[in-house]
């Protein structure tokens, strides 16, 4: 059964007239009639009643018409979606994000992609550390990652989006000012991201190792939201990127850490990316004058 046979049958069924159906298909009547006859021979049933001046459908023809209309509609949809996918307008964009960028940067990034690619679907994979995201990109489990201070490698493309300071998350009644030095946090419990997974965690530990006068207990906390809850419970002082300040939790405030370097936010993707959709998504983000 060929698509052109079904197209011919549907047109005859719509017009109930071979001449009008042939005109609609831009055919002469003989090849149109031949398509209908070959379809009837293939199915072994009579589809059209030609005994009157007006063509009528048989019961078998009525049944086939339902299937034929649905099949042709699905074929048209498949053609359109495949072409749109090839052009990079449709498909799924798998977007990873470090936990500290979930609250301020991620919504803006998603908005940029949706504006540029309204027919694309965005699957957000949240709160994965940079190293994990980079490996997922290499394994084709992730398309784009919002990461921090990623290590350079030939197979990963890194585009820097900007830098932001680190802040201390403290209880509202804490005595420290709006700007604090790490030495002022001496003798306190520091809540920070695990160093084996997070560049922020590694940065804090390097600073503490280089300043032995600062004596602090460190507790690894993998997620920003968990860290906030622990600060609220009085467990210690959290250290997070400034963008986490959008989490206006009751009883907490933020103090900028003046003697720690700023931390970067970057866009990670495959260096040899072939998908037009992913290329367009990256271009939409980079051309948006994004500010963290």
Please compute the mean of the pLDDT values over residues 54-73 and round it to a whole number.
Answer: 91
**45 vs 212: which has the higher pLDDT:** 45
Residue 80 in this model has a pLDDT that exceeds 90: no
Question: What is the total residue count of the chain?
Answer: 292
The count of other CB atoms within 10 Å of the CB of residue 58 is 14
What CATH number is attached to the domain comprising 10?
1.10.10.10
Query: Is 237 a domain residue?
Result: yes
Residue 177 in this model has a pLDDT that exceeds 80: yes
Distance CA 20, CA 11 (A): 8
Which of 33, 62, 83 is at the close of a domain? 83
> What is the per-residue pLDDT for 268?
97
SS3 at position 258 = coil
> What is the per-residue pLDDT for 52?
63
Q: 141 and 30 share a domain?
A: no
289 conformational bin, left if phi > 0, alpha if psi -120 to 50, beta if neither: left
Residue 84 pLDDT level (bands cut at 50, 70, 90): low
Q: Which two tokens stand for residue 43?
A: 């199915």
Residue 108 pLDDT level (bands cut at 50, 70, 90): very high
The 10s digit of each residue's pLDDT in 220-236 is 999 898 999 999 999 99
Residues 122 and 114: beta-carbon distance below 8 Å: yes
Number of domains into which the chain is organized:
3
Domain interval for residue 209? 166-261
The 10s digit of each residue's pLDDT in 20-32 is 888 888 889 899 8
Q: 175 and 249 share a domain?
A: yes
Residue 284 in this model has a pLDDT that exceeds 90: yes
């Amino acid at each position: 059964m060929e698509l052109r046979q079904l197209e011919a049958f549907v047109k005859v069924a719509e017009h109930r007239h071979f001449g009008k159906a042939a005109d609609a298909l831009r055919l002469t009547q003989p090849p149109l009639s031949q398509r209908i006859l070959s379809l009837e021979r293939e199915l072994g049933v009579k589809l059209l009643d030609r005994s009157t001046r007006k063509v009528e459908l048989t019961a078998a023809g009525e049944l086939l018409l339902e299937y034929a209309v649905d099949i042709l509609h699905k074929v048209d949809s498949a053609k359109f979606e495949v072409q749109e996918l090839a052009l990079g307008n449709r498909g799924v964009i798998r977007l990873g994000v470090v936990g500290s960028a979930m609250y301020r940067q991620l919504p803006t990034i998603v908005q940029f992609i949706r504006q540029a690619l309204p027919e694309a679907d965005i699957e957000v994979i949240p709160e994965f550390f940079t190293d994990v995201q980079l490996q997922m990109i290499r394994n084709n489990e992730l398309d784009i990652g919002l990461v921090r201070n990623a290590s350079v490698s030939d197979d990963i493309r890194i585009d820097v989006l900007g830098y932001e300071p680190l802040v201390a998350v403290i209880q509202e009644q804490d005595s420290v000012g709006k700007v604090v030095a790490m030495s002022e946090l001496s003798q306190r419990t520091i809540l920070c991201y695990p160093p084996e997974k997070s560049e922020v965690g590694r940065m804090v530990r390097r600073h503490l190792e280089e300043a032995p006068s600062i004596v602090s207990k460190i507790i690894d906390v993998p997620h920003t939201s968990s860290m906030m809850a622990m600060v609220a419970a009085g467990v210690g002082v959290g250290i997070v990127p400034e963008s986490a300040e959008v989490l206006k939790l009751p009883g907490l405030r933020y103090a900028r850490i003046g003697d720690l370097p700023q931390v970067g936010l970057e866009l990670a993707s495959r260096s040899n990316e072939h998908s037009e959709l992913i290329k367009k998504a990256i271009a939409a983000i980079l051309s948006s004058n994004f500010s963290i």
